[in-house]
Amino acid sequence: LASLTPVPRPAAAAPAPAGALNLQFTGDSWVDITAPDGSTVEKALIKSGEARSFSPGQVGRMVLGNASAVEVQQAGTIVDLSPYQRANVARFTVSSDGSVAPVSH
Has residue 26 got a pLDDT over 80? Answer: yes
pTM of the model: 0.79
pLDDT band for position 11 (cuts 50, 70, 90): very low
Strand ranges (E), 1-105: 21-25, 29-34, 40-46, 51-54, 61-65, 70-74, 77-78, 85-86, 89-94, 100-102
In a domain, residue 77? The reply is yes
Please give the backbone phi and psi of residue 81, each rounded to the nearest 5 degrees, phi first. Answer: -80, -10
In a domain, residue 9? The reply is no
Q: CA 72, 77, 55: angle at the middle one, nearest 5?
A: 65
In a domain, residue 6? The reply is no
Total domain count, the chain: 1
Q: Read off the DSSP letter of residue 68.
A: G
Residue range of the domain that includes 53? 21-102
